[in-house]
Amino acid sequence: MPATLQFWFDFASTYSYLSAMRIQQAATMKGVAVEWQPFLLGPIFAEQGWTTSPFKIYPAKGQYMWRDMERLCAARNLPFQRPESFPQNSLKAARLALAVEQGDRRAAFVQAVYSTQFASGHDISDPAVLSDCLAASGSAPDAVQRMSDPKIKADLFEQVARAKALHIFGAPSFIIGNELFWGDDRLDDAVSYASSYFT
């Protein structure tokens, strides 16, 4: 059984875009399997007294983040377009990610959503956009209706509870056993830790 790393992400997270587009390759090179775990940061931020992203609360931090994203995407040959609205409402996309089977298909859907948002600037709260992402990832486009499924809604609620129990406070986050790594700049460390943790 391969080593496993849990990748916790919120679709509204800019730095999670960076991780989502490279984690599979980085993990495969080390013999590590990736579990794609969508969740919502909003309820976690609310417990800290924040009503929105800290990049909106602190303008200087937000200004830095956008320039940092431009630099990092250019260095990695990743397309980047700042979406008109930020942070975007990631609720529907998170529900759909849970509705897609864990594994390659979920990975493809997650990457499609991040690409349409941060490479093309599209609105991921739009069901038509999400339907296109499902099609691009090999899932039936009409599966977009599952975002209203009561079980999927309950599953996402449980995901947020799990994230809190794991002491996750931001995204992207990586969990190996009881060890937490936070931030795209810790992805390689997390993968290396996972490869040695299970040996």
- Record the tokens describing residue 102, joined without a space: 């864990």
Q: Is 13 labeled as catalytic in the residue annotation?
A: yes
3-state SS, residue 3: strand
The whole-number pLDDT of residue 199 equals 57
Is 55 in contact with 110 (CB distance < 8 Å)? no
How far CA 127 is from CA of 1, 96, 137, 141, in Å, comes to 37, 10, 15, 10
Whether the predicted pLDDT of 2 surpasses 80? no
Q: Where are the domains of the chain?
A: 3-197
Catalytic residue, candidates 13, 16, 137, 195: 13
Please give the Cα distance from 147 to 180 (Å, whole number): 29
Tell me the CATH number of domain 3-197, given options 3.40.630.30, 2.40.170.20, 3.40.30.10, 3.30.60.50.
3.40.30.10
pLDDT above 70 covers what percent of the chain? 98
Res 48: pLDDT: 87
Which tens digits make up the pLDDT trace of 100-159? 999 999 999 999 999 999 999 999 999 999 999 999 999 988 889 999 999 999 999 999
DSSP classification of residue 21: T
Tell me the whole-structure pTM to 2 decimals.
Answer: 0.95
C-alpha distance from residue 26 to each of 20, 34, 141, 174 (Å): 11, 10, 29, 13
So what's the pLDDT on residue 142? 86
pLDDT of residue 144: 92
The three-point CA angle 129-131-132 to 5° equals: 65
* pLDDT value at residue 3: 86
Residue pLDDT, tens place only, 66-80: 999 999 999 999 999
- Given this model, what pLDDT does residue 180 score? 98
The answer to whether 136 and 112 have CB atoms below 8 angstroms apart is yes
What torsion, rounded to 10 degrees, do the Cα atoms 46, 16, 87, 71 define? 130
- Measured CA to CA in angstroms, residue 56 lies from 19, 111, 135, 178 at distances of 21, 24, 32, 31
